[in-house]
């Protein structure tokens, strides 16, 4: 079996195993928790496609995520479209948003790009707040069906949907790492000027990465209105999404898709636990605390720690 | 005219400072041109203008009879215009071999991975880096970094290679090795502009020599004659 095929088969097997385990537990809370963890896996993997692979730090995660969620709200309200169609549409909308934002901002290098992306969320949120059809500042409700196709339980359906999206996102990220696009992004991250001198179409590759990354974030947000049954701009555009995706990736390690997956799984599990046992306000505190620890003690994340530890084992 | 590079009236200012002024220079296909001048005379700025880093320069640059105005650096590279950076700029996260595959994977049309790696390996052999193919740039010495810079620039078999001080800091035998390499490359039809402070290499290599002083080309011609002109001696003694 080739490596990519092996990875995809492994991902599918892991997905089936997860579904079976949660079926055994069969409790709405378990499906919910799993959904949130997977949503952050997808967001972190998506964020890392731009930040980890090409070195461009995007502070607009919440904007892409919310654009996906509001795509669902609008398409459901206007055309009563199926959630699966909304997910695809959200991918396109947020992908296009990424392309547009990239077109405007990717000529800016380093920190200037990051500052520009931060303003995207502000602009979009202002737009939604002043748009009564989308629910305005008070938000919009979504009618949640009882079940969906073979799924008797809608929570299970949402979990499986997010699982498929997250695993798909991982497969895409892993594919990029092996591809010519991945090589080009790595040269941009290492030295953009040298990359251009070697014939790498830097702007085009950055635009492609922003579009893919943004599209994935939009898909992560698309089921949110159904998950929460109610969506308001504050929740959709919450800076929490931006900070979490970033912190989880940095804690896991930015070198490949494995880092964000580890970081998102660990941190969002911790957060879910804290929400129950302490308070929901403890979430960001945990992320902040863990992030500070990592920045000081292990700037290359968990993956970096593992590599350093293995390296020491080899030479000893 | 059938020059590979034809530069007319090239000028570049940084703020109020004039780094290049009215430079005219041509390079014939397959020619070996030496470019010398004191520190800060504008040699690297000349390279940067031609490579597309400063689109706001004055004057016209034709590459194989094609005006380069409006073309991005990567588009110029893909046309067959290769440059090295005076301070090596390797891709740190890639191995030495992968570094050299980059211009081959991003040529038009791109080489498939296997072909690119085979050709990159051949390039590493040419510069004598084959044993370091799987090392990362951080483990290379300054000399090896210069060789890597050169290997990456010559890998796509450019029509013109501009080598900006690739011999700085090299030992006598290493200079000879790079000289042999540039001669061999030139023998395959690549025109070369060699920017160097190593006079021995310049005189051995150049068919024609141009001298920049304070952003102007003061003389150009046969190397021996040029080096003997009083202005050139003054420029070098003056610094
Ligand atoms: N990006 C820049 N911004 C401002 N000034 C610059 C820039 N690049 C070069 N200069 C200035 O232009 C002048 C020419 O620099 P350049 O690097 O072209 O010289 P050089 O001939 O290559 O010198 P050396 O032999 O030391 O490499 C210098 O005074 C330098 O300070
Ligand atoms: Mg220079």
Does residue B166 share a domain with residue B233? yes
Residue nearest ligand 1's atom 8 by CA:
B45
Q: Which residues of B touch A196 (CB under 8 A)?
A: 52, 72-74, 77
Which of A199, A202, A206, A303 is the best substitution to test chain B (most B C-beta atoms within 10 A)? A199
The answer on pLDDT for A314 being more than 70 is: no
Nearest-angstrom CA–CA distance, A233 and A231? 7
Does residue B130 share a domain with residue B165? no
The answer on pLDDT for A28 being more than 60 is: yes
pLDDT digit string, tens, across residues B66-123: 999 999 999 999 999 999 999 999 999 999 999 999 999 999 999 999 999 999 999 9
Does residue B203 share a domain with residue B167? yes
Q: How far is A184 from chain B (nearest CA, A)?
A: 8
- Asked which of B157, B185, B215 is the last residue of a domain, the reply is B157
Q: Would you tell me the crossing angle of helices A28-54 and A3-25 to the nearest 10 degrees? A: 150
- Asked which of B95, B124, B157 is the last residue of a domain, the reply is B157
For residue B168, the enclosing domain spans 1-80+158-239
Q: How far is the CA of A207 from the CAs of A95, A134, A170, A193, A203, in angstroms? A: 10, 29, 20, 17, 6
Mean pLDDT across chain B: 92
pLDDT digit string, tens, across residues A179-203: 999 999 999 999 999 999 999 999 9
Q: Scanning the structure block, which residue is given the tokens 């089921």?
A: A223
Amino acid A280: pLDDT: 62
Does residue B91 share a domain with residue B144? yes
Does residue B162 share a domain with residue B234? yes
Distance B187 CA to ligand 2 centre (A): 26
pLDDT digit string, tens, across residues A63-84: 999 999 999 888 888 888 788 8
Q: Which residues of B touch A194 (CB under 8 A)?
A: 85, 89-91
Q: Which architecture does CATH list for A3-315?
A: Orthogonal Bundle (1.10)
From the CA atom positions of chain A, what is the Rg in Å? 19
Does residue B74 share a domain with residue B171? yes
- Asked which of B111, B126, B157 is the last residue of a domain, the reply is B157
Residue A155 exposed, middle or buried by CB count within 10 Å (0-12, 13-18, 19+):
buried
Amino acid A3: pLDDT: 77
Mean pLDDT across chain A: 85
User: Which of B15, B16, B17, B19 to mutate to test ligand 1, by most ligand atoms within 8 A of the CB atom?
Assistant: B19
Does residue B61 share a domain with residue B179? yes
Instruction: Of A39-48, A98-107, B224-233, give the range with the top mean pLDDT.
Output: A39-48
pLDDT digit string, tens, across residues B137-194: 999 998 899 999 999 999 999 999 999 999 888 889 889 988 998 999 999 899 999 9
Nearest residue, CB atoms, B152 vs list A186, A198, A202: A198
Give the residue from chain A lying closest to B93, CA to CA: A190
pLDDT digit string, tens, across residues A191-249: 999 999 999 999 999 999 999 999 999 999 999 988 888 888 888 888 888 888 888 89
Does residue B196 share a domain with residue B96? no
The answer on pLDDT for A316 being more than 60 is: no
Amino acid B52: pLDDT: 95
What is the count of structural domains for chain B?
2
Q: Which residues line ligand 1 (CB under 6 A)?
A: B 14, 19, 37, 39-45, 86
Q: Are A211 and A96 in contact (CB under 8 A)?
A: yes
Nearest-angstrom CA–CA distance, B147 and B131? 13
Question: What predicted TM-score, i.e. pTM, was given to this entire model?
Answer: 0.90
Does residue B31 share a domain with residue B147? no
């Amino acid at each position: 079996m080739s490596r990519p095929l092996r990875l995809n088969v492994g991902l599918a097997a892991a997905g089936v195993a997860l579904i079976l385990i949660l079926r055994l537990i069969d409790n709405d809370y378990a499906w919910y928790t799993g959904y949130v963890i997977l949503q952050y896996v997808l967001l972190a993997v998506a964020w890392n496609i731009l930040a980890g692979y090409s070195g461009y730090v995007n502070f607009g995660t919440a904007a892409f995520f919310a654009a996906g969620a509001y795509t669902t709200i609008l398409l459901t309200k206007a055309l009563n479209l199926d959630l699966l169609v909304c997910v695809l549409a959200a991918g396109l909308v947020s992908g296009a948003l990424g392309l547009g934002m990239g077109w405007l901002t990717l000529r800016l290098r380093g920190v200037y790009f990051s500052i520009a992306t931060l303003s995207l969320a502000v602009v979009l949120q202002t737009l939604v707040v002043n748009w009564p059809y989308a629910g305005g500042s008070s938000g919009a409700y979504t009618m949640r069906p009882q079940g969906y196709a073979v799924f008797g339980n809608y929570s299970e359906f949402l979990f499986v949907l997010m699982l498929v999206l997250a695993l798909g996102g991982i497969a895409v990220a892993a594919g990029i790492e092996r591809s010519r696009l991945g090589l080009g992004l790595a040269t941009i991250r290492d030295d953009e000027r040298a990359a251009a001198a070697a014939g790498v179409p830097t702007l085009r590759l950055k635009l492609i990465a922003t579009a893919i990354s943004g599209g994935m974030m939009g898909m992560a947000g698309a089921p949110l209105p159904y998950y929460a049954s109610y969506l308001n701009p504050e929740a959709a555009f919450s800076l929490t999404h931006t900070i979490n995706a970033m912190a989880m990736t940095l804690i896991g390690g930015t070198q490949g898709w494995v880092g964000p997956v580890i970081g998102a799984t660990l941190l969002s599990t911790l957060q879910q636990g804290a929400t129950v046992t302490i308070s929901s306000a403890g979430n960001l505190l945990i992320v902040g605390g863990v992030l500070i620890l990592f920045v000081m003690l292990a700037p290359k994340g968990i993956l970096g720690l593992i590599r350093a530890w293995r390296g020491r084992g080899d030479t000893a | 005219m059938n020059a590979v590079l034809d530069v007319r009236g090239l000028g570049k200012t940084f703020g109020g400072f004039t780094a290049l002024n009215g430079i005219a220079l041509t390079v014939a296909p397959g020619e070996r041109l030496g470019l010398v001048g004191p520190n800060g005379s504008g040699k690297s700025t000349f390279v940067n203008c031609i490579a597309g880093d400063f689109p706001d320069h004055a004057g016209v640059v034709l590459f194989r009879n094609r005006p380069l105005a409006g073309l991005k650096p990567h588009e110029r590279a893909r046309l067959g215009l290769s440059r090295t950076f005076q301070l090596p700029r390797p891709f740190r996260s890639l191995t030495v071999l992968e570094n050299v595959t980059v211009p081959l994977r991003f040529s038009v049309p791109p080489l498939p991975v296997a072909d690119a790696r085979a050709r990159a390996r051949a390039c590493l052999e040419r510069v004598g880096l084959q044993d370091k193919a799987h090392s990362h740039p951080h483990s290379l010495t300054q000399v090896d970094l210069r060789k890597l810079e050169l290997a990456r620039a010559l890998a796509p078999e450019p029509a013109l290679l501009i080598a900006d001080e690739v011999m700085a800091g090299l030992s006598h035998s290493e200079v000879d090795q790079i000289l042999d390499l540039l001669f061999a490359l030139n023998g395959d039809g690549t025109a070369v502009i060699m920017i160097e402070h190593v006079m021995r290499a310049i005189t051995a290599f150049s068919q024609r020599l141009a001298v920049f002083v304070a952003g102007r080309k003061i003389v150009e011609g046969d190397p021996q004659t040029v080096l003997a002109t009083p202005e050139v001696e003054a420029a070098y003694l003056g610094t």
